[in-house]
Structure 1
Amino acid sequence: MPETPASARALRLGVAGPVGTGKSSLIATVCRALGEELRLGVITNDIYTDEDARFLRSAGVLDPDRIRAVETGACPHTAIRDDITMNLLAAEDLERDFSPLDIVLIESGGDNLTATFSPALVDAQIFVLDVAGGGDVARKGGPGIGRADLLVVNKTDLAPYVGVDVPQMVADAAEAREGRAVLALSKHDAESVAALRAWVLSMLAAHRSGDHVPQDPGPMAPHFHADDEHPEGGFVHAHDEHEHADAEAHSH
């Protein structure tokens, strides 16, 4: 059977980020903002539990049957990047059971700053940070921060309590992302929720028209290797094949 063109199926939107940044809450916010006009489904990832799925079901944001849990049994990034079989099957089953769907949101288990989705699993991805993790996190970079389709600085309503300058954190994030989209979000702030809603709708439109090409943020951002024998004290190394070739050329 021929493969269904990506633009003919639901937009698969990945949501990744460290533990506790509010990924499940963000998905609930998207469901509340768009659930009445779009046909949505959700897949959550946890290592040993279905806790995130149960949270979303209890929140009443969707028909509980439209929220599926994947128990990865391994490091969270394994199931969204290295071996996507479990998530891919879950997405296909969900789309078959509730066809047609407009968007399937896939939540990663909480991982570190290096976690990104394979473009074979999702069409676009959101990376989530939160102010409680510290205002300097956005400056630290990494593939999710640097190259996800959208970076969300979440829980901005907590900033006064944790001493974080949100505009500065957003500015640092924008610099780290070289101008790619950054959104400061609080589920209690209607303006920021409206901005998130608008971004999701724009991504859906680009997916349907075929104008959006899924990007691979890469397993790791280019990074510096110290080398006492190198004339400049080390060299830049990248895991992307093209960047790797460039880095190697500059290291000689």
Structure 2
Amino acid sequence: MIKIGVLGPVGSGKTTLIEFLAKEFIKMKFKVGIVTNDVVSNFDAVRIYSDLVLKDKVLPKENIVGLVTGGCPHTAIREDPSLNMRAIETLSRKSKLDIIFIESGGDNVMSTFSPLLSDYSIFVLDTSAGDKYPRKGGLGITQSDLLVINKIDLAPYVGADLSKMREDAESVREGKPTAFISLRTMEGTEELMRILLEDLNIEGLLGNK
């Protein structure tokens, strides 16, 4: 089982990205589970339930757990991930899963996942927040296995320079991959999937199924 942590600021597109990736992996016949974290509500879990269970009918309802952490989002995924680890154990007892996505609550550029909780981490930024974020660094941006720059279709409208963002990301990430995508137009999603399939050794995982 591969545990993929997805984190990033509020509104960057974490939930939409998880929905997209879940559907892609389900098409490949993987069994997918999702754990969402939020400080005050289970809004993201309800949204995923509405989209993937009720509308698209690709995910069983028992494969989604929504956690309300009630405090700093960093704590539940890094300092004390026990709540999330119990949720993963619960999902695993219900179904033999291949991939579990863990979505962090909205957080900042210093947030990371505990290695006890996540095997692979994706940090999501969006261009509407401006093109300054990659060069600001921070553990989430520099240490995540994959940096996703989302909403590139909005870049012209907010004055974000994608070339500068790419240059800055390459500079601070020291060879680790960055994907530039739009989940509205689907631009860049093929490259995103290519990176993930290679990094996660999906061919090897398929061979073990």
TM-score over 0.5 (shorter chain): yes
Give the fraction of aligned pairs with identical amino acids, expressed as a percent: 44
Structural RMSD (CA): 1.7
SS at match of 2:20: helix
- The one-letter code of the counterpart of 2:26 is G
Could you give the per-residue CA deviations for residues 149-171 of structure 1, whole angstroms, max 9, x where no partner exists? 00010111111111111122122
Distance between the aligned counterparts of 1:77 and 1:179, measured in 2?
Answer: 26
**Unmatched 5+ stretches in structure 1:** 1-9, 210-252
Retained in 1: the 8 A contact 2:147–2:177?
yes
SS at match of 1:14: strand
Retained in 2: the 8 A contact 1:47–1:109?
yes
Residue of structure 2 in register with 1:30 after alignment: 21
Q: Residue 16 in 1 paired to residue 16 in 2?
A: no
Please identify, of 71-80 and 27-36, the stretch whose mean Cα deviation from structure 2 is larger.
Answer: 27-36
Distance between the aligned counterparts of 1:102 and 1:201, measured in 2?
Answer: 14
Residue of structure 2 aligned with 1:55, choices 47, 56, 62 = 47
Q: Give how far 1:36 is off.
A: 1.9
Count of residue correspondences: 199
Between Structure 1 and Structure 2, whose CA radius of gyration is higher? 1
Residue of structure 2 in register with 1:114 after alignment: 110
Q: Give how far 1:206 is off.
A: 7.1
Could you give the per-residue CA deviations for residues 163-187 of structure 1, whole angstroms, max 9, x where no partner exists? 1111221221111111211110111
Q: Give how far 1:191 is off.
A: 5.0
Retained in 1: the 8 A contact 2:76–2:82?
yes
Q: Give how far 1:203 is off.
A: 3.2
Q: Give how far 1:140 is off.
A: 0.2
Residue of structure 2 aligned with 1:45, choices 26, 30, 37 = 37
Residue of structure 2 in register with 1:172 after alignment: 168
- The one-letter code of the counterpart of 1:20 is G
Residue 207 to residue 36, structure 1, CA distance change in 2 (3 Å): closer
Residue of structure 1 aligned with 2:199, choices 203, 227, 239 = 203
Q: Give how far 1:73 is off.
A: 1.1
Retained in 2: the 8 A contact 1:34–1:197?
no
Retained in 1: the 8 A contact 2:6–2:122?
yes
Retained in 1: the 8 A contact 2:7–2:123?
yes
Residue of structure 1 aligned with 2:82, choices 80, 85, 110 = 85
Scaled by the length of structure 2, the TM-score of the pair is 0.89
Could you give the per-residue CA deviations for residues 21-48 of structure 1, whole angstroms, max 9, x where no partner exists? 1110110110122222211110000012
Residue of structure 1 in register with 2:55 after alignment: none
User: Aligned runs of 1:1-252 on 2, under 5 Å?
Assistant: 10-37=1-28, 38-60=30-52, 62-99=59-96, 101-205=97-201
- The one-letter code of the counterpart of 1:22 is G
